[in-house]
Amino acid sequence: MHHLVIDRWSRGSSSLHQRDPRAKLATLLAFLIVLSTTRPAAQWAFAAYAILLIVAVNRARLPILGLAGRAALVLPFSATFALLTWWSGDSLRALALAEKSFLSGMAALLLVATTPLTGWTAALESWRVPRMLILVIQFVYRYLFVIAEQAQRMRWAALCRGSHKAGGFRLAAGLVGVLFARSWQRADGIYHAMLARGFRGRFVPAAPPPFRAADVLFFSACLAGCLAVRILL
């Protein structure tokens, strides 16, 4: 199975990759707060936020179109509310809603594309985010591969036996049912393997690297940039 693209991106070596996950998480939070409180009429501010993100993506040496395309996946959800707002006669607010959701998605993606999973989940843990929530994130991430691999093998097996000629809903329903049962079995096996290596309901994180002056500088510069846009435009 192919590596998750974002997982591969997160293993880069740019200056943004090297920043402490806690600094990046704090920056994301600040950006989201500033973005969400920006007035719909401040359209130049949204353009400035986009430019800030493009500069950050460029510094991280990531493909801007690849990241933007993935961030655009949030648009169908926010577009529903944007359309309702537009119909109610507030077109500027509808536009701002779509812009905010896209820029938020882009910023969150930039964090996970420059920080390995263990890094940002450790940062969440250091912020006292409930352990159960972090465990769920980590397991979902791991089991995504398991389920995707199972699904791919079953699809190949079905294709080998001519599923392109006959199948339809009945076949799809059968595959989903078997996929669920097999995924459950596999998840059970993984859990047993974890118990066998001393797992006691908590991933013990490796020690976080020291929070360096460069990380403080990074967060301060990003915060200043966001606030400047928010206040001046």
Partner 1 sequence: MSRAIQIRGLRYRYPDGTQALNGIDFHLDAGESVALFGANGSGKTTFVMHLNGLLRGEGSIEVCNTTLSDETLEQIRSKVGLVFQDSDEQLFMPTVLEDVAFGPLNLGLSPDDALTRARTVLKRVGMAHALERAPYHLSAGEKKRVAIAGVLAMDPEILVLDEPTTFLDPPTRRDLLTLLRGLPQAKVVVTHDANLARALTTRAVFFDQGRIAGEGDVIELIQRFHWEYS
DSSP 139-155: HHHHHHHHHHHHHHHHH
Q: Interface with partner 1 includes 182 (CB under 8 A)? A: no
Give the integer Cα–Cα distance in Å for 115 and 18.
Answer: 8
Q: Interface with partner 1 includes 153 (CB under 8 A)? A: no
Q: Interface with partner 1 includes 190 (CB under 8 A)? A: yes
> What are residue 162's phi and psi, to 5 degrees?
75, 35
Rg from Cα positions in the chain: 22
Q: To the nearest whole angstrom, how small is the minimum distance from the Cβ of residue 200 to partner 1? A: 7
**Half-sphere exposure of 47 toward its Cβ, with a 13 Å CA cutoff?**
6
Distances (CA, A) of 129 to 125, 126, 137, 147, 208: 5, 8, 12, 27, 16
Number of residues that bind partner 1 (CB under 8 A): 29
Of 87-126, binders to partner 1 (CB under 8 A) are 116-118
- Tell which one of 130, 174, 177, 189 touches partner 1 (CB under 8 A): 189
Q: To the nearest whole angstrom, how small is the minimum distance from the Cβ of residue 154 to partner 1? A: 15
Q: Interface with partner 1 includes 186 (CB under 8 A)? A: yes
Give the integer Cα–Cα distance in Å for 166 and 152.
Answer: 18
Q: Interface with partner 1 includes 14 (CB under 8 A)? A: no
Of 33-41, 65-73, 165-173, 190-198, the segment contacting partner 1 by CB under 8 A is 190-198
Q: To the nearest whole angstrom, how small is the minimum distance from the Cβ of residue 79 to partner 1? A: 33
Of 25-33, 142-150, 154-162, 225-233, the segment contacting partner 1 by CB under 8 A is 142-150
99 class by beta-carbon count within 10 Å (0-12 exposed, 13-18 middle, 19+ buried) = buried
Provide the mask over 192-231, with x wherever binding to partner 1 is found by CB under 8 A and - wherever it is not: xxxxxxxxx--xxxxx------------------------
Q: To the nearest whole angstrom, how small is the minimum distance from the Cβ of residue 207 to partner 1? A: 4
Residues with Cβ < 8 Å from 170, sequence gap 6 or more?
A: none
The type of residue at 124 is: L
Enumerate binding residues for partner 1 (CB under 8 A): 1, 3, 7, 11, 116-118, 141-142, 145-146, 149, 186, 189-190, 192-200, 203-207
